[in-house]
Chain A
Amino acid sequence: MTHVKTINQANLKESAVKGGCGECQASCQSACKTSCTVANQKCERKAK
């Protein structure tokens, strides 16, 4: 494509079907404790 560059694989829908194991880190345990960001957490399955 010349007008559009897609910079990721856009797999959110696929992850809904395969996800939900619950083994990943609770987001508030990382650094924030006062504000919530979830999209920066790692998937425990993919991390293996």
Chain B
Amino acid sequence: MLHQYQLNGYNIILDVNSGAVHVVDELAYRLAQMLEPPLSDSCPDQITEQLMPDFDKASIQETYQELFALYQQGQLFSVDDYEKFSNILSESPVKAMCLHIAHDCNLRCKYCFADTGEYMGHRELMSFETGRAAIDYLLHYSKGRRNLEVDFFGGEPLMNFEVVKQIVAYARSKEKEYGKVFRFTITTNGLLLDDNKIDFINQEMSNVVLSLDGRKEINDRVRVRVDGKGSYDSIVPKYKRLVEKRTGPYDQYYVRGTFTKYNLDFAEDVLHLNDLGFDQISVEPVVADPKESYALTEQDLPQIFAEYERLAKILIERQGTPKDFNFFHFMIDLEQGPCAIKRLRGCGCGNEYVAITPSGDIYPCHQFVGHENWKMGNVYDLSLNSEMKQQFASATVYGKEDCKNCWAKFYCSGGCNANSMLYAGDIRKSHHLSCELEKKRVECAIMIKAAQF
């Protein structure tokens, strides 16, 4: 399968099954569009004639031979033979956890998928006992996996920071005994950050996600405090301080925003964050009920596509300058990225990744929390619904009807199961809007690589 597209002056041919990316001239681009495998060793006369008005015969034949050489090397029209791997994939050990350290929040963001922190339940903080039981659960179910991940999430995890510190200390105390390495991450809205918390986060958290939507008026329209006031002025200096002090042992962070129908010109927000001095930026589409006024809809797609393209071009322009920045959704590793096995089933939710509520209940991921029928077990009794786990383990790109023949399947790996459940009604179906956005982002990411080559 090939995926061909033209963007920012580049003619790009992606050979989906080998992962090869070819940047070609116009003749090769048009010729590839006319070819159907299996290829013979000379260009079919009919195709040559069709191209003759625009190109000379020698060039057509020369180009054909270049494409034919790639075909013989398995880098063009390569065969899809991954399904056999998909069929033998079994359940994985549980190695990653999203700990809902606080089902409470000090912001009232209007688009919050977590029901402003309550997750359709009630406001509740996780106790250390539950956190400890969660770590024990992870140690038990991670089996032979060495690298374990724990994300402190909410609500707002800084509202229960003493318990965060206790859990980190407890997990660290078990690393040597169990032969594990814990990698902690935290996602915060920043309001409660102070120097002590910043120092602890920078010392212990391998990644920190700092929520901020961009321009002050954009952020403060939706990310409001309990009293209705905006949050921008309070958090920006704190984020700057955290990043300034993040000199080791970890350097990874993201300033992460959400864009909605209110700011379809979201590239301006990315650039604003960059202009504030941040260079690791993620601004992502809102996940929302289509009935909400801020929800993105299919009608918004042309504008969003144009905005992603504009952002990609600006990112290229800023490379190598003091305003060089990294945009999370344009990151792609064409050489050293994840193996094909990893790409078959993506995020791993419900299989190798689970979310834990303050009371110790287990859900496939943070976005499933509150949907009672997706509860998988509890950390206190070490229960885990193996039937449900198997359902997620088998949700590969070959088990999803829309993914199997999609060119982007090895980049998104089947997309977000929670989005599929919430908006398509089934984890094996796809959420069309999310797919369209993802495909555009992948196209932009590959184009950026072409520009760098």
Contact A38 B413 (CB under 8 A): yes
C-alpha spacing A8/B149, complex, angstroms: 30
Contact B338 A38 (CB under 8 A): yes
* Across-interface contacts of A32 in B (CB, < 8 A): 282, 284, 328-329
- Contact string against A for B residues 412-423, beta-carbon threshold 8 Å, 1 for contact and 0 otherwise: 111110010000
C-alpha spacing A44/B207, complex, angstroms: 16
Contact B441 A2 (CB under 8 A): no
In the complex, which range does the number of interface residues on chain A fall in?
Answer: 35 or more
- Interface 9-mer from B22-30, B214-222, B315-323: B22-30
Interface residue from B17, B62, B438 paired with A37 (Cβ < 8 Å): B438
- Contact string against A for B residues 1-45, beta-carbon threshold 8 Å, 1 for contact and 0 otherwise: 000000000000001011111111101100000000000000000
Contact B254 A6 (CB under 8 A): no
Contact A13 B78 (CB under 8 A): yes
Interface residue from A10, A15, A25 paired with B15 (Cβ < 8 Å): A10
C-alpha spacing A43/B285, complex, angstroms: 26
* Across-interface contacts of B339 in A (CB, < 8 A): 15-16, 18-20, 43
- Contact string against B for A residues 12-35, beta-carbon threshold 8 Å, 1 for contact and 0 otherwise: 110110111011111111111111
- Counting CB contacts under 8 A, is B174 at the interface? no
User: Could you tell me the distance in whole angstroms from the C-beta of A9 to the nearest C-beta in chain B?
Assistant: 6
* Across-interface contacts of B59 in A (CB, < 8 A): 3
User: Could you tell me the distance in whole angstroms from the C-beta of A48 to the nearest C-beta in chain B?
Assistant: 11
User: Could you tell me the distance in whole angstroms from the C-beta of B441 to the nearest C-beta in chain A?
Assistant: 7
Contact B333 A22 (CB under 8 A): no
- Interface 9-mer from B123-131, B236-244, B343-351, B380-388: B343-351
Given A10-B75, A22-B145, 16 further pairs, Cβ under 8 A = A1-B69, A3-B25, A5-B22, A10-B18, A12-B343, A16-B85, A26-B353, A30-B207, A33-B153, A35-B437, A36-B412, A38-B411, A39-B412, A40-B331, A40-B332, A40-B337
Q: B residues near A, CB below 8 A?
A: 15, 17-25, 27-28, 59, 62-63, 66-67, 69-70, 74-75, 78, 81-82, 85, 92-93, 95-96, 98, 113, 145-147, 149, 151, 153, 183, 185, 187, 207, 209, 254, 256, 258, 282, 284-287, 328-329, 331-343, 346-349, 352-353, 365-367, 410-416, 419, 434, 437-438, 441-442, 445, 449-450, 453
* Majority SS at the chain B contact face: mixed
User: Could you tell me the distance in whole angstroms from the C-beta of B285 to the nearest C-beta in chain A?
Assistant: 7
* Across-interface contacts of A15 in B (CB, < 8 A): 338-341
Contact B338 A41 (CB under 8 A): yes
A19-B339, A36-B415, A39-B338 known; A8 vs B20 contact (CB < 8 Å) = yes
C-alpha spacing A7/B66, complex, angstroms: 15
Contact A12 B18 (CB under 8 A): yes
Interface residue from A4, A19, A24, A34 paired with B284 (Cβ < 8 Å): A34
Which residue from chain A places its CB closest to the CB of B449 in the assembled complex? Answer: A7
| Closest 4 A/B residue pairs (Cβ) | A19-B339, A10-B20, A12-B19, A20-B341
Contact B413 A19 (CB under 8 A): no
Contact B18 A31 (CB under 8 A): no
Which residue from chain A places its CB closest to the CB of B82 in the assembled complex? Answer: A16
A6-B21, A6-B70, A32-B284 known; A26 vs B442 contact (CB < 8 Å) = no
